Amino acid sequence: MNDKASILIVDDEEVVRRSHLRSLADTGCHTEAAEDGHQALRVMEQHPFDVILLDLRMPGLDGMDVLKTIKERWPESEVVVITGYPSIETAKEAVRLGAQNYIAKPVGPDDVIKAANEAMTQKRWALRSA
């Protein structure tokens, strides 16, 4: 990745947000974190991110609603769902709504970097072919 890539981490657990931020610290990309869906959408309004690492189960606005809103308002952003409660149903729904990837927790630093890289690659290809 390069310094042009921007990644938003959305998770209600502080330890997860910090872990993902730490994992991406040496990648040269711009990273920020949001603690819930409402905050994530406010941050996106200020500065749309290239990649969003999104938890599904959060208080208030859940991840599926956030995913749907992001893909409607910022379709060029790639969303990677990272959930501690994976199921076939939510995986299908996430992909149907436009998620680029769907990953079950726990995830290690390499998993986070790989997911972000793949999403950024997908975004670059999509922009190139548009």
DSSP sequence for the chain:
--TT-EEEEE-S-HHHHHHHHHHHGGGT-EEEEESSHHHHHHHHHHS--SEEEE-S--SSS-HHHHHHHHHHH-TTSEEEEEESS--HHHHHHHHHTT-SEEEESP--HHHHHHHHHHHHHHHHHHHHH-
Domain ranges (residues) in the chain: 6-129
Average pLDDT taken over every residue of the chain: 95
Query: Of 33, 25, 65, 26, nearest to 49 (Cα)?
Result: 33
As a whole number of angstroms, the distance between CA 123 and CA 98 comes to: 12
Top pLDDT among 62 and 128 is at 62
What percent of the chain is modeled with pLDDT above 90? Answer: 91
Name the CATH architecture for the domain at 6-129. 3-Layer(aba) Sandwich (3.40)
What percent of the chain is modeled with pLDDT above 70? Answer: 97
Which pLDDT tens digit goes with each residue over 55-96?
A: 999 999 999 999 999 999 999 999 999 999 999 999 999 999
| For residues 113-124, average pLDDT | 95
As a whole number of angstroms, the distance between CA 93 and CA 86 comes to: 11
Could you tell me which residues are beta bridge partners of residue 104? Answer: 83
Q: Is the pLDDT of residue 1 over 60?
A: no
Give the global pTM. 0.95
